[in-house]
Amino acid sequence: MAGKSLLSLFAVLLWSPKVLCYVEDLDDTFKEKRMDEVWLVEFYAPWCGYCKKLEPVWYEVGAELKSSGSLINVGKMDATAFSSVASEFGVRGYPTIKLLKGDLAYNYKGPRTKEDIIEFANRVAGPVVRALPSRQMFEGVLNRHSVLFVYIGGDSPLKEKYIEVASEMIVYTYFFSALEDALPTNVTLQELPSVAVFKDRTYFLYDAYQDGELSSWVNRERFRGYLHIDGFTLYELGETGVGKGVSGSVPDRDFQFGHMDGNDYINSLIMGEVPVPSIIVLNTSNDQYFLLGEPVKTLDQLVQFIHSVLDGSAQAQGGDGIFQRIKRVAFDARSTVMSVFRSSPLLGCFLFGLPLGVISLMCYGICTAESDDGTEELDLLKREALPEEDEYEDRRREGEEEEEEERQEEKSAADKKVD
């Protein structure tokens, strides 16, 4: 047993430096050499907890890309030490992951897992629009990717627009092009050229009159019909304006279906307690939500609830009014205080107890000063007035003594005359 432990330790010690060498530490000279290569770079801060959590994943990314023969270079840069370089690339938070390809810089906004980061790097490092010359290759791509966009047809203004949109949205999904004879047999086009999205074992065609701008349509359609939703995905759905909710899909596709593990995130979002399991509809445009008051037992019951949200008969809760904003501020403050005390009671006492103690002393001092009612000033005035009163008393006594002496002299003079 001890031998196996030593062998494992020895293997780790040999493997770790090899992994580390696949990630290059970058400095300000990086700007000069990056133009001729593709780089996947993490901008970090030494004190950042999220950066420390990402560090082992980042070394695994570098090792796997190198072992697969990828031409993508992996590096990391201390954005606090080389702040001018970080500012040039628009780094505003840590960690920031960017793929740099020539003059272009692509931000990574997905989950910080090895698989997701590698998938992003391989997708963005390749051509913006990949060609599908045969039906066999088309069907192979459909089996590998859950969502993909395809331009069908020859050169046209729509193709130019498609390439422009793909250049911006390649960070999220794949873009392909094909001729009509390469399409699967079950695909029917209304016109050429066309743009289609393939997902959920079906496809949807872009209609410029109904769907508006191509970029907006792509941004909405890049999600699968049913998602495992977390806080990041929910934020992305809200930013893209996908439908009105996180639960449901009706014929007019106003809803996005999904599920969440647990209720912690939803509880913090609605500032309440949601039982598990529950069905909730979130309106990402105004922060309203709709809850079904009873357990869902049939499909008809669920569909009826969704339609009641659409026609406005369901009761909306929450919202983005002034009362809800004030409530949100108070809720966030309370949650922050509680989380600090749960994670470190001593730190919580220090962070919140010390300021409260200082404020208490200040209030006590102010109240004490106000309760004197000017007594000290009156005492001072009295003390200043005492010398003047004493001087007046002395002069009065001297006057009385002089008058007494004069009376005595007059009396003595009168006595002498009598004699």
* Catalytic machinery residues: 48, 51
- Could you tell me if 38 and 72 are in contact, meaning their C-beta atoms sit under 8 angstroms apart? yes
User: Amino acid identity of 419?
Assistant: D
Evaluated on CA atoms 54, 60, 62, 64, the torsion sign reads negative
Place of tokens 């909306």: 316
Separation of alpha carbons 52 and 235, rounded Å: 24
272 forms beta bridges with none
Alpha helices in 34-94 (DSSP H): 49-67, 83-88
For residues 51 and 63, give the distance between their C-alpha atoms in angstroms, rounded to a whole number.
18
- Kindly list the strands in the beta sheet with 288-291, ordered across the sheet, starting from the edge strand earlier in the chain: 280-283, 288-291, 317-318
CA distances for 81 relative to 18, 28, 34, 67, 86, angstroms: 25, 9, 19, 30, 9
Which of 285, 283, 261, 263 minimizes the C-alpha distance to 272? 263
Please give the Cα distance from 167 to 102 (Å, whole number).
13
- Count CB atoms within 10 A of the CB of residue 44: 24
Taken as a whole, the chain contains a residue count of 419
Query: Do the Cβ atoms of 176 and 186 come closer than 8 Å?
Result: no
How buried is 347 (Cβ within 10 angstroms: 0-12 exposed, 13-18 middle, 19+ buried)? exposed
Alpha helices for 312-348 (secondary structure H): 322-343, 345-348
Q: Within its chain, how far is the Cα of 278 from the centroid?
A: 26
Tokens of 321: 């009014």
Where are the extended beta strands (E) located within 124-173? Answer: 130-132, 147-152
Residue appearing with tokens 């922050």: 336
Q: What is the dihedral of CA 121, 126, 132, 134, to 10 degrees?
A: -90
